[in-house]
Amino acid sequence: MTRGPDARRPTIMEVAALAGVSHQTVSRYLRHNGGLKPATVEKVDAAIRALDYRPNLVARSMRTKHSNRLAIVLPTLPGFVPVRLLAGASSVAHEAGYQLEIVSLDGSSEVRAERTRELVESGYVGGVLSLAPLPGFDPGARAHGSATIVITPEYDQNLHGAGALADGSMEGEIVAYLSSLGHRRFVHLAGPDTFPSARNRKAAYLEAIDRLGLESYAVFDGNWTARAGYEAIRDLATDAGVTAVVAANDVMAVGAIRAALDRGWRVPEDLSVIGWDNEEIARYGSPSLTTVAVDRERQGREAMQQLIAEVRGEPAPPPAPETINTLLIRESTSAPGAPAIRVELP
């Protein structure tokens, strides 16, 4: 059932009437107290769905007085959760004495904005960190009702990397590093153009190639998968003369390495390969992968520090001036024809 913004919200009594149970039973269901018969749970659940009932968080907050509770809201998207950013934010919240809830919101950006507005105006939490833009809310920190909201610029509506996560300038450093080793002809394995990070990395790669007077033999538009990296290098012309592969993520880089080995090419003697993200597989593969480490934990820490400062009415600590990206040199790169330098793992 869809209601307009001015429609009266259904009450717990109406849910009870539709389900054919007492309002105490519905209240017990909402508190997850357990002990209800499966048939009762099914009737209450069906009534809540039919009425689109949502508990009155304002009344609940008046009863429970949760003044030390913060929330992080993010869209519900299959296959991706920014675990490392959440871990950094969580550590700061807990160290500051706050309880933290992770709230995943279904629906369009407008629906998510409405649900977030209900949350920040409820008094149930003292502050909200949103990982995606919300229509009607300005970026940055603002007070809304009794709560404060901070919208991080690190993701777009689809949780694709934006802001610092989309900064592709490190590709220029990668190309310059490979050039210093003697590489002159390159291939770039790009991510999908729907991702700002993929577009920016490709643009920075092409700019560096042009600026340094090098040659890009090809740019293959991939989809972040190992198969995409594998097929690009598997189908590379034997006489292409490419000695270096710059991949937009570690997974495609791993696929490229496998294809090179299947073709009888040595990595890095015949083909140097660089990835991005510093996934665990990059560290423990053979050869270990030269890659870009992204400090996502720092992003989470800084975003949560800003939220807590706003909640407390204190000045937020300035973000660290250095980039979140660091080039890690490992065994998958060397001068053309030169053997890999062994890297000892800690």
What span, in angstroms and rounded, lies between the C-alpha atoms of 285 and 226?
14
Max mean pLDDT among 74-83, 146-155, 167-176, 319-328 falls in 167-176
* 3 state SS of 266: coil
CATH architecture observed for domain 165-290: 3-Layer(aba) Sandwich (3.40)
Q: Is the pLDDT of residue 237 over 70?
A: yes
84-88, 219-223, 250-254: least confident range: 84-88
Length of the chain: 346
161-170, 172-181, 302-311: least confident range: 161-170
CATH architecture observed for domain 57-159+295-322: 3-Layer(aba) Sandwich (3.40)
What span, in angstroms and rounded, lies between the C-alpha atoms of 82 and 80?
7
Q: Is 40 exposed, middle or buried (0-12, 13-18, 19+ CB in 10 A)?
A: middle
CATH pick for 1-55 out of 3.40.50.1820, 1.10.260.40, 3.40.50.720, 1.10.10.10? 1.10.260.40
Short-list 326, 339, 177, 329, CA closest to 244: 177
Structure tokens at 219: 């740019």
What span, in angstroms and rounded, lies between the C-alpha atoms of 34 and 241?
67
pTM for the model stands at 0.73
Same CATH topology for 1-55 and 57-159+295-322: the answer is no
The full set of domain ranges for the chain reads 1-55, 57-159+295-322, 165-290
- The residues, ordered by sequence, that sit 6+ positions from 184 with a Cβ below 8 Å of its Cβ are 214, 215, 243
End-to-end CA separation in angstroms for the chain: 57
Question: In the β-sheet with 69-75, what is the strand arrangement from edge to edge?
Answer: 99-105, 69-75, 127-130, 147-151, 140-144
Short-list 195, 189, 288, CA closest to 231: 189
List, for residues 86-117, the tens digit of each pLDDT value.
Answer: 999 999 999 888 889 888 888 788 888 888 88
pLDDT given for residue 255 in this prediction: 97
